[in-house]
Structures are given as structure tokens and as C-alpha cells.
Amino acid sequence: MAAPKYKILFVSSELYPLVKTGGLGDVSGSLPKALKSLHQDIRVLIPAYPSAVEKAASVKTVATINLPKAGFPGNMGFSSDIAQTPYATILETKLPGSHVKVWMVEFSIYNRSGGPYQDDQGNEWIDNEKRFALLNYIAVEIAMGYTSLNWHADIVHCNDWQTGLIAALLFEEKKQNNLLTRPATIFTIHNMAHMGIYSKGQFQALQLSPSLWNHHELEFHDDFSFIKGGLVFSDRVNAVSPTYAEEIQTEEFGYGMAGLLRHRSKRLSGIINGIDMKEWDPVNDPMIEQNYSPKNITDKYANKIALQNHFKLPLTRSDGKEILLLGLVARLVYQKGVDLLLEQMEAILELPVQIVILGSGDLELESRLKQWSLKHPEQLQIQIGYDEKLSHIIEAGADAFLMPSLFEPCGLNQLYSLRYGTIPIVRDTGGLADTVVNSSKRNIRNRTATGIIFHEANHITLFDAIHHTYELFQDKKTWKEIMLRGMKQEFSWRESAKQYLHLYEQAIEDRDDED
């Protein structure tokens, strides 16, 4: 039987290649394409950040949405902005390299240079609650079919806190207007650590329905939380890996919402992310020095030399032997386990290894890493900033890839690493645990090993993992077997997209059981 064809509104604050700060951008830029290839009618909705509009091709205006008349409760505290422009504009483009339609909400509060969440100096925009509440209101208008776009949604697929109010608003919309039905809602948790918490005053300024202010709904310890709206009101909730779906139901990873998640556990599941197999393909990647495949794996070596040259690192050990090169590309934040690495840096650098790091984030972590690099320039190099091309060069050039994350909802870099024959060194958490098989003696014998996993989040176990990697690297035959096995793993979006289709079906079935 052919799968049903749904009208899906996929709402996100990031969309690669138009706007990306991390994995959410990658997922938003690739899952909709996979759903489209499964014959779904999918539209992606993002804010019209000027830098995103600049990168988009053939942009046209397709609708205007009159704000005060659009059924918004009050004017969402936008009075002064609305006085100037009483409507938002919907711009349309295509997701590059696909036929997926993208709608971008244009309004004065998005019209600034800087990132989606922060200004150029790294300060959070002071009105993020308004910026994302507006995105949520517009999503509801479109999903309900209230706009001149001549389209309505069967499913609204929301992602992370920036879209957390949508399910709550759709629920209210149905209740207040005594409607028979509403679009079904899915909320995907990419990261529980970001919950979109704002004050009661901000809740009131947004003129959200006062009935939502209670601790079963949006209220969260005298403040309110966007993500709670998604967790409470969505017909189905999923995390981006099965292990993370379990972890967030514990106090350690649930950030005060573990009880709520346990309460909704029948509606909660995990679906592992896929990767964009065209974007991350060592055989055809135009950003790397030398393309390679499992059949000519020795060609990968040219990428190692290019990477060492980029960072002005010696090509070999002083005794002329090959040196193990470790890569790390990440937002440099607590989540990514950079502290663990720093704590053990002295001991790690006593091993004959080199480490290259690309990232930006926490200024203190950046500066501590830079200090180590100044002390050991022949072993540790760091580039602060965001650089898409260099991230590909590191994936292709490093021998092994470091992801000592304290928690990792899914993680994409370990998947890119596997595809590039770059052995991932990961902590046993979230999606890392679900996608990497440890190179224990037994798994090497059974021919299942694909990476190195360590368990406890402490520096000793990280050191042991790197030491183990160093030892394995000396055994070229086994190392090559592990590389090749990783390269053959299947992480395309197709299977996960099918699981999302199933989730949509379940959301539609469940939508009227309001529990």
C-alpha cells in the first residue's frame, strides 16, 4: 500500500545551507528532502534572516499576513513595530539542490545582521522570545490555512524550543473556536538543555492565553518555557536518538522536565538522525584535497597531509614515524566535553599525537585551548570560528575524531567521521552510544567494531580512550578494518524519514486524545 501523502509544515530556526549554527541546521536541510522523496508535500518555515535571504535563490514574495487581524491574541507586544509595518511578509524560495519549498517570514525584528540567536559579539538578542513567538504565530496561521498561500497543514513538525509554542497555540485555536479538528503536531527534541525560559512579564507581553499559565502547561517555576509547550501539547514527541529519548526521562538529563517526559512516555520515542549523503561524501566532496572511497582508501592520506599543512604541523614524528592525528569540530561549550579534554591535555600531549580543533563558543574554553596550543604548537592547533570547508577538511584528514560529549542528543560529526573513514572516539551517551560500536577485543574479533567508546565522564577514561586509539593505530591491519567497516555503515535519511512518516500517522491517530 502506498504511504499516505501528508501536507507537512516543518518549522525551524535553522536551515542549512541558508542558516546554520549546529546540527539543527543540518537536519532541517536534509530531512525535508528525504520526506519529499517519499512523496510528501512538505514546506519549511524559517525566519527571513537577511543572511539567509541573501544566500537563497529566486526569492519571491508570496503572501502578506496582517498581524493584528491575523487572529493573534492582541498584538504580541509588537505595538511599536506593528505601527510601522502592520503585516509580515512571506518570502518563498527552494531549499538549494531540491524542490522543497521554503517560506521565510520577513518582519522588522529579523532584519539585523548577526546570527539567528545572537548579535555579532555573541550576546543573545534581547527580544528572542518575540522573534520566535512571531515565527510560531505565523506557523499557526499557515497551518490553519488562514493565509493567502492557499495551503494548510495536516502535520506541523516543530523543532526545539524556538517552535515550542506552536502546539499550544493550535490547541488553543481549536478550543476557542470550537473547531472539529486541527493539524496534528510533532515536537522533535534536538537538545533539552535549551528550554526557552522567559519571565511572567514576557508571557503577559506576548498576550498568550492566561489559561496557559499553570504548572501543567507553560508555567515553569514562576517563569514560562517555550519547550514545555511542545512537550505538553504535541501529539507526538521524539528525541533525535533512542538513547537520548530514555536519558531525558532521568533527572540528570531532563533539566526539571523528566517527570513531564515520563508522564508523556507513551507519546515519546527516539529516531536517529540521518546525514546528507551528497553533502558528506568522500568520493565526491569538492571541499577536500583528494577524493577517496573504501576501494582506494590510501588516497585519504593526501587529506591528512593537507590538514597538517593547513595547521603548519609537522608531517611525521621526530623519528620519522607516522603520527596519529585527532580532529575535533564543535561548538566549544560544556555539552561537548571540552573540559574533560582540557583537564587531561598534559597527559594526552605526552603521547605522540597531534590534535586539530575547529570551533567557537565559550570564551574561557577557547582561551584555555589557545594557551595549550601556544605551549605545544607542534602538537595542538586550534582555529576559532565557523568554517564549513575546514570542517570537511578535518573530517577527511584526521585519523580519528574526538567527541567526548557529556551529553549528545544525536551528534552528526561521528556519522560524518564514520563515512570518511575517520575513527570516532566518543562517550557512551545519547546518539553516540546508538551509532558507534566500541573496538573491544571481542567486537574486533566479531568484526563489528567501528570506533572507540568510553563510559564515565572523567578525564581518566578519556585519556584511556585516546591511549587505546594510539595503540590500535599501531596495528595497521585492524585499524584499516575498523575504518572500512565504518565507511560501510548506513546513515542515509531514508530509514529515519520513514520512521517520521510513521510518527505522523500516529500523531494524526492520537490528536483527539487530549492526554
Note the residues at the interface with ligand GLC (CB under 6 A). Answer: 22-24, 27, 190-191, 240, 273, 408-412, 431
Nearest to 307 by CA among 316, 297, 315, 318: 315
Shortest Cβ distance from residue 406 to ligand ADP (Å)? 11
Give the residue with the Cβ less far from ligand ADP, 204 or 383: 383
Cite the beta strand spans of 74-168 per DSSP E: 87-94, 101-106, 155-159
User: Please, which residues have CB within 8 angstroms of residue 342's CB and are 6 or more apart in sequence?
Assistant: 365, 368, 369, 372
Residue 334 near residue 401 (C-beta atoms within 8 A): no
- Binding segment for ligand ADP (CB under 6 A), chosen from 4-12, 120-128, 328-336, 372-380, is 328-336
Q: Is 359 in the site for ligand ADP (CB under 6 A)?
A: yes
> Measured between alpha carbons, how far is 350 from 114 in angstroms, rounded to an integer?
40
Contacts of 116 (CB under 8 A, 6+ apart): 13, 14, 19, 21, 47, 49
Should residue 275 be labelled a site residue for ligand ADP when binding is judged by CB under 6 A? no
Nearer to ligand GLC by Cβ, of 56 and 240: the residue is 240
Contact between residue 62 and residue 146 where contact means Cβ atoms under 8 Å apart: no
Q: Which of 44, 50, 54, 83 lies closest to 67 in space, CA to CA? A: 83
Residue 81 or residue 408: which is nearer to ligand GLC going by CB? 408
CB 339 → ligand ADP: shortest distance, Å? 16
Least distance in angstroms from the C-beta of 226 to ligand GLC: 16
Cβ 38 to ligand GLC shortest distance, Å: 19
Quick one: which of 40, 246, 252 has its CA closest to 155?
40
CB of 334 to ligand GLC, least distance (A): 12
* 382 binding partner (options ligand GLC, ligand ADP, none; Cβ < 5 to 8 Å by kind): none
Name which of 191 and 469 has its Cβ closer to ligand ADP.
191
Q: Dihedrals φ, ψ of 251, to 5°? A: -60, -35
State in angstroms the smallest separation of the CB of 42 from ligand GLC: 18
Indicate which of ligand ADP, ligand GLC, none lies near residue 101 (CB less than 5 to 8 Å, by partner kind): none
Position with the least CB separation from ligand GLC: 23
Q: What are the Cα distances from residue 153, in Å, to 13, 61, 182, 421, 428?
A: 19, 20, 9, 41, 38
For ligand GLC, the closer CB: 324 or 418: 418
Question: What would the x/- binding string for ligand ADP be over residues 6 to 25, using CB under 6 A?
Answer: ----------------xxx-
Provide, rounded to whole angstroms, the least separation between the CB of residue 412 and ligand GLC: 5
Work out what residue 230 binds among ligand GLC, ligand ADP, none; the CB cut-off runs from 5 to 8 Å by kind: none
- Terminal Cα distance for the chain, rounded: 31
351: which residues sit within 8 A by CB, 6+ positions away?
A: 324, 466, 467, 470
Residue 182 φ then ψ, to 5°: -155, 165
Question: Which triple of cell numbers denotes residue 428?
Answer: 557512551
331 near ligand ADP, rule: CB under 6 A = yes
Bridge partners of 336?
A: none
CB of 360 to ligand ADP, least distance (A): 5
Contact of residue 240 among ligand ADP, ligand GLC, none (CB under 5-8 Å per partner type): ligand GLC
Q: Which range, of 115-123, 247-255, 367-375, 387-395, touches ligand ADP by CB under 6 A?
A: 387-395
Q: Is 450 a residue that touches ligand ADP (CB under 6 A)?
A: no
H or E stretch at 42? strand 41-47
- In degrees and rounded to multiples of 5, residue 101 shows phi and psi of -80, 135
> Which lies closer to ligand GLC via its Cβ, residue 183 or residue 411?
411
d(CA 194, CA 372): 30
Instruction: Tell me which of 59, 62, 158, 330 binds ligand ADP, using CB under 6 A.
Output: 330
Which string of x and - marks every residue 196-235 that binds ligand ADP (by CB under 6 A)? Answer: ----------------------------------------
**Cβ–Cβ < 8 Å for 358, 313:** no
What length does the chain have?
515
Cα–chain center distance at 268: 18
- Comparing every residue's Cβ against ligand ADP, the nearest one is 23
Largest CA distance in the chain: 78
Closest separation in Å from C-beta 392 to ligand ADP? 8
Q: For the beta carbon of residue 407, count every other beta carbon within 10 angstroms.
A: 23
Q: How far is the CB of 386 from ligand ADP (least distance, A)?
A: 4
The verdict on 388 binding ligand ADP (CB under 6 A) reads: yes
Ramachandran region, residue 204 (left: φ > 0; alpha: ψ -120 to 50; beta: rest): alpha
* The one among 166, 358, 382, 400 contacting ligand ADP by CB under 6 A: 358
d(CA 292, CA 410): 26
Site for ligand ADP in 389-428 (CB under 6 A): 391, 410-413
Residue 197's binding partner among ligand ADP, ligand GLC, none (Cβ under 5 to 8 angstroms by kind) is none
26 forms part of the interface with ligand ADP (CB under 6 A): yes
Give the footprint of ligand ADP on this chain (CB under 6 A): 22-24, 26, 329-331, 358-360, 386-388, 391, 410-413
